[in-house]
Amino acid sequence: MEDEFAFISKITPEETYQKELVRGIGDDAAVYSGADHMEQVVCVDTMVEGVHFRRDTLSPYQIGKKGLAINVSDLAAMGAIPTYYLVSIAIPSSWTEEELTQLYQGMNDLAKTYQMDLVGGDTVSTNDVLVLTVTAIGKVERGRARYRDQAKPGDLIFLTGYAGTSAAGLDLLFEKGFTGPFSREEQILVKSHQEPTPHIAEGRILSTLNKRISLNDVSDGVASEANEIAEASQARLIIERDKLPIHDVMYTYPPEKQLDYALFGGEDFILIGTLPKEDVKEVEAEFLSQGLMLQVIGFVEEGEPGVSLLEENQRNKVEKNGYNHFKKRG
């Protein structure tokens, strides 16, 4: 890339969506106005080439789309409405301007879905690998943000989608390469890894209902996210093996492989949470009325904070063994 400023001009969106935006890209900082009845929600994630993504499993377009999706999923877990995002990118010479344009197009297309405005960022060069940092901003009604520390004994645990499909899709990409060949069922799994869908609609339902709800997104696996809720709430979560929602296309895998993907795979970007048992029917009905999924997978009880798997009347502790970027693999 020869001209940084020309490139920035090229990837600057031609339209904006948020009426609160006063000044977007073009000055030293963006300006937007708040609303008295809303609270602002901010999150940030960094993706490093070779650690968080590989170019033989994701296209540049999909890398960009996923880079934003990770953050949008965090907003979903808070019950927030996505509004703005900023992008900081460190670019090595191994990336062409065309590939970078595709990367930004991936973010732009996902942003259009949620009417998010790109309001700034930074572009630098690096001698190593590409590093993509995305900051996302959202808003939620005052007092309605969802947190991890609201689980109490007697609550039920739920998921808002299928667990393990992304991890299965990644393994298929490792096995067969970016272009496959993949069967129809395998294509579903691969797509779930390459272009996951954040559960914003589900998070919004859970934020607007006047219920006590804990919430987390499944980025590092059900086991890891359930443990985070257990630790924050100082409660014990019991996951029932036969209630975990496994997509039909995964039934060709051995049961233990399905379980491993579901508990420890990560990057499904569904939501996991808890709510009082007496509220489950009402919340299920609201999800069903909007064509959305809510599956009860277990319950909360008193005890030492942690997570156990209940299978054939046997309980086994489930460690927080989701994907850890700083843990040596193999």
240 annotated binding-site participant:
no
3 annotated binding-site participant:
no
- Per-residue H/E/C for 85-131: EEEEEEECCCCCHHHHHHHHHHHHHHHHHHCCEEEEEEEEECCCCCE
Which of these, 247, 223, 232, 187, lies nearest to 316 by C-alpha position?
A: 223
Tell me the chain's radius of gyration from C-alpha atoms.
Answer: 20
**C-alpha neighbours within 13 Å on the C-beta side of residue 243:** 17
* CA–CA gap between residue 108 and residue 53 (Å, rounded): 19
Phi/psi region, residue 92 (left: phi>0; alpha: psi -120 to 50; beta: rest), is: beta
121 annotated binding-site participant:
yes
45 annotated binding-site participant:
yes
248 annotated binding-site participant:
no
Q: By the 8 A CB rule, do 220 and 323 touch?
A: yes
217 annotated binding-site participant:
yes
Give the CA distances from residue 44 to residues 16, 62, 86, 117, 214, in Å, rounded to whole numbers and listed in that order. Answer: 21, 18, 9, 16, 21
109 annotated binding-site participant:
no
289 annotated binding-site participant:
no
Indicate the length of the chain as a whole number: 330
Give the helix/strand (H/E) hosting 21: strand 21-23
Q: Which residues of 215-241 are buried (b: 16+ CB within 10 A; e: fewer)?
A: bbbbbbbbbbbbbbbbebbebbbbbeb
| Dihedral angle sign, alpha carbons of residues 322, 301, 256, 287 | negative
251 annotated binding-site participant:
no
122 annotated binding-site participant:
yes
148 annotated binding-site participant:
yes
- Please report, in range form, the residues annotated as the binding site: 28, 45, 52, 74, 104, 121-122, 148, 217, 219-220, 267, 323
- Please report, in range form, the residues annotated as the binding site for Mg(2+): 28, 45, 74, 122, 217, 220
- Please report, in range form, the residues annotated as the binding site for ATP: 104, 121-122, 148, 219
- Please report, in range form, the residues annotated as the binding site for substrate: 52, 267, 323
